[in-house]
Amino acid sequence: MKPSRINTRALFSIALLAMLAFHSSAQAPNDVRIALIIGNSAYPGNMALANPSNDAKDMAATLRNMGFGVIEVRDASREQMTAAIERANKALNGKQGVGMLFYAGHGLQLDWRNYMVPVDAKLNSAKDVPTNTVDIEVVMNAFKSAGNRMNIVVLDACRDNPFADGKTASGKGLAPLDAPTGTFLAYATAPGNVAQDGDGKNGLYTGYLLQELQKPTASIENVFKRVRFAVRKASNGAQIPWETTSLEDDFVFNSGIKKVVKLTEDQKEKEFDIEKAEWDKIKESKSADPFYAFVQKYPNGQLSQSAMNVIERLNEAKTKAYTDKNGVSVARSYADIFRIGDQAELVRYDGYSKLEISRSKPTINKIENGLIYYNGNTVVTIAGELQRRGDGVTFDPPLLLLPADGIGVGKKWEGRSAFSPTTGPAVGQKSWVENTGKITAIETITVPAGTFKAYRFERASINRWGYRTKETMWAEVNSLTRIKAIFEGRPQRGNPDLWTEEAVSVTRGKPS
């Protein structure tokens, strides 16, 4: 029977829709996830490593099972590595997809650049490095030229390598890199430090990463946060992974990019109450173990970074500080930053009239039992959290002022604390304040106290009654002394208030 005209149109429409659906699916960015996996173990003589080849094999299998296209090379020469990078570039080109590099093997730094070492590298002096190794930037540029929507770079390349003898490398470990836009960078250990190759089938870091990747709905930041604290605990603070990110979207390894879904205020409050009840059970513990368990259970919770800060205090990092090309010390404990006698004279101006409102001299006069006392009444923890304000308001857990996992561009934090106002109409009532922030840049700032190299912090807060504040603050890179701030408060009702604050003088206490 000959189909009617209406049926013909219907069939044509269905076919067209099917074609469009297929085309859309085929071009969807989330469907294009390409992982370049490189694992080098078979170096000559005493340079050989036990686990990187296994690490690459297992990582490739894991990511294939999650839907990644995988380009895998093991025990590769420089020529094989560069060819694999070109293949990854072609596979990703124009797809607006996700590019991932996982590298395990020897790595070294030279003149603030990081290099992957092929198994055929012949390195007798520094001049041999660029021509015998593969610069990480080559991969970054390949991903960039492909037009990727997101890039992930994981480097388990910080073994105590035999090339770092003063002839070929600038120092141990790898140099810190700022994450380019849309990039997540993960190191097996902090910059300038070395990682363990592992006693089992996999390296210490990769072994825990493979475990976390088996959790199919875990977002990228949750995965690496759990890995960081598992490695820290297993190494007793000797190895602490390091991440920096410029991602705006979230990413789940077995499904791809997804928009960050923000909880409603009601959802946040319910979750906070649940976490706070568990926090109250462990907050007085003198052992780090309950806090490790807390982070594993709530890796992205509202109190997880507070738990991380307690871990920092109870299980002190044994990694060494590292000075980057900007002269900034990274990967060090906050305990190494603050000194008794640190002082800044700050003047506050009205943001509209430019008239001086007040002057203050915050001065550290005591550091004791993990607490820093400013002028005797403001108390900050050694991890840079506000425990008690000058007016007597106490925060539980302490209010986050700095990222829990160290200072660096791209570091961010988010947390919520309970408190009770001591003045005003809500005096004595239980409330909470949520504080979020990010370090966005290192900038040169000139104020009456002088010219300083400073981190730029962008922070915001909201409390239970809807009072919002926004602040841009600059803090000197090595002392974290406040140099300048622009503050804007927006009450739920009424007009905003605006003030600026600048340092009139800055002095540094003597090292202990």
What is the spatial distance between Cα 403 and Cα 412, in angstroms, rounded to a whole number? 6
Contact 286, 292 (CB under 8 A): no
Least confident of 183-197, 230-244, 324-338: 324-338
Q: Does residue 197 sit in the same domain as residue 141?
A: yes
**Is the entire prediction scored with pTM above 0.85?**
no
Cross-strand pairs, 316:
none
Distance CA 270, CA 471 (A): 27
Contact 202, 61 (CB under 8 A): no
- The confidence score (pLDDT) of residue 63 equals 95
Q: Which residues contact 2 (CB under 8 A, 6 or more apart)?
A: none
Q: What's the rounded Cα separation, in Å, for the pair 440 and 458?
A: 7
> Do 297 and 204 share a structural domain?
no
In the predicted model, what is the mean pLDDT of residues 57-85?
Answer: 96
Residue pLDDT, tens place only, 167-180: 566 667 787 777 88
Q: Which whole number is the average pLDDT over 124-138?
A: 91
Give yes or no: residues 172 and 241 share one domain. Answer: yes
Q: pLDDT band at residue 484, thresholds of 50, 70 and 90? A: very high
| 480 and 455 share one domain | yes
Please indicate, yes or no, whether residues 242 and 343 belong to a single structural domain of this protein: no
Whether residues 251 and 305 share a domain: the answer is: no
Report the distance separating Cα 129 and Cα 114, nearest Å. 10
Q: Are residues 55 and 106 in the same domain?
A: yes
- pLDDT score for 58: 97
In a domain, residue 18? The reply is: no
Task: Please report whether residue 6 resides in a domain.
Answer: no
292 and 277, same domain (yes or no): yes
Segment 313-324 mean pLDDT: 78
**Domain-terminating residue out of 273, 296, 314:** 314
What's the pLDDT band for 198 if we cut at 50, 70, 90? low
- Dihedral (CA of 322, 328, 330, 335) sign: positive
For range 356-375, the mean pLDDT: 93
Higher pLDDT, 466 or 328: 466
In this structure, the dihedral spanned by the alpha carbons of residues 476, 480, 482 and 483, taken in order and rounded to 10 degrees, is: 0
Among residues 266, 295, 265, 267, the alpha carbon closest in space to that of 279 is found at: 295
| CB atoms inside a 10 Å sphere around CB 183 | 22
Structural domain includes residue 221: yes
Return the SS3 of 148: coil
* Residue that terminates a domain, selected from 217, 241, 258: 258
Sign of torsion over alpha carbons 304, 293, 410, 224: negative
Confidence of residue 92 (pLDDT cuts 50, 70, 90): very high
Tokens of 279: 């926090």
Strand partners, 182: none
Of 243, 258, 273, the domain-final residue: 258
What's the pLDDT tens digit per position in 71-83? 999 999 999 999 9
> Is 9 domain-assigned?
no
Peptide bond into 52 cis (omega under 30): no
Q: What is the pLDDT of residue 133?
A: 94
Average pLDDT in the 88-100 region?
Answer: 95
For 259-406, list the strands marked E by DSSP: 322-323, 329-330, 343-350, 356-360, 364-368, 371-374, 378-381, 385-388, 394-400
Residues 379 and 406 in one domain: yes
Question: Considering the domain boundaries, does residue 298 fall inside one?
Answer: yes
Q: Which two three-digit tokens encode residue 493? A: 């009702």
Q: Is residue 247 part of a domain?
A: yes
| pLDDT of res. 171 | 63
How many domains in the chain?
Answer: 3
Average pLDDT value for the chain: 85
How far is residue 345's CA from residue 333's CA, in Å, rounded to a whole number?
25
- Is a pLDDT exceeding 90 seen at residue 507? yes
Mean pLDDT for 137-165 is: 85
Confidence of residue 315 (pLDDT cuts 50, 70, 90): confident
pLDDT for the residue 176: 78
Of the pLDDT bands very low, low, confident and very high (cuts 50, 70, 90), residue 357 is very high
**pLDDT at residue number 46:** 85
Beta carbons of 155 and 114 less than 8 angstroms apart: yes
User: Does a structural domain hold residue 69?
Assistant: yes
Same domain, 367 and 430: yes
Range of the domain at 480: 322-507
pLDDT at 428 over 50: yes
Assign 188 to helix, strand or coil: coil
| Residue range 54-59: mean pLDDT, rounded | 96
Pair 435, 414: CB distance under 8 Å: yes
Per-residue model confidence as pLDDT tens digits over 278-290: 999 999 999 999 9
| Percentage of residues in the chain having pLDDT higher than 70 | 89
Together in a domain, 368 and 500: yes
Q: Which amino acid is at 173?
A: G
Is residue 16 in some structural domain? Answer: no
**pLDDT, mean of residues 303-316:** 87
**Is 377 found in the same domain as 485?**
yes
CATH of residue 357's domain is 2.40.360
Decide: residue 28, CB within 10 A, 0-12 exposed, 13-18 middle, 19+ buried.
middle
